[in-house]
Structure 1
């Protein structure tokens, strides 16, 4: 197993060589253990058109132990603490694998935005809306906060046009089968972790 610094440099070279269209991942060259990512909200979700800044801090024992991930952009989501930005995702805890990379973590976070798990909420307001079956109310709140807090890169006209398009498409399937909404298959936290990991779509970088 490579030492943490060598591993992080390898990941940085890979990110620079193969950039992702929906992920801007950068290392702090003064402190290689601290990274920052800008994630594009997934399509057909209330977060579409939003850009969310996320901080990833690796422990000295990385990749044996997972990074700490926090949203710097506030987001209305059951698995993200609205005030602290803490993320509830199993691959960042008990299901972590040293084979996974920071890019893979970013993909898993985007997948979590698309498919939240209302059974393990850090934001009870968001979780309660989904559990009660009020998906329209949840989408409306999530869109509002996305528009106000994550669309600073857009003009007001663009924001208004995108908002109208998202409202018009409110019947789409983005949250119809999420955990706890009544349409999902159940399974709690582990289900959230596995679905987010499977949807991440980025093969891990083996050190």
Structure 2
């Protein structure tokens, strides 16, 4: 007997479609490797036009997955607590708790487990999250916070994930974007199916 494929929600389909559109837009606007770099540079920061495009695209890909996972967590947690959300006190506490729960991937994983009894496995995109944070907060350079007391740790994690690091600078490839897009869409699908299962079991 054949097993029916899970049906994704409209939100999950839209998020996956947005990832595909983001990747397609990057490919359509891809800068040739031989294009000149801008003359004005920030000290210690790469102005390689192709890297700028690659990094901008990766930032958006990971941000889409992060938004979906965070928004889905809050949506289903609120539905689970709907009968309790009567008092102003509860509403005030929930606003603060829900805001902090989506601040980092680690916190999202924690509260998926505590609130929905779901294990959020984001290992496949962890190195892309690291790269995204370097892009967002260090203009492509690993930040002091990321490097911490053991700079080799995050560099090893990035390298093991296929993301090159030159000095402290993240260097992306087109393959990285394709792999990141695939991993982000897979995470979105898994989260969507798991939360649907959780809702149906209530």
Same-fold call, TM cutoff 0.5: no
User: What's the TM-score once normalised by structure 1's chain length?
Assistant: 0.28
Which protein has greater RCO, CA pairs closer than 8 Å, 6+ apart? 2
Task: Answer 1 or 2: which has greater helix percent.
Answer: 2
User: What's the TM-score once normalised by structure 2's chain length?
Assistant: 0.29
Task: Answer 1 or 2: which has greater strand percent.
Answer: 1
Q: Highest CA radius of gyration, 1 or 2?
A: 2
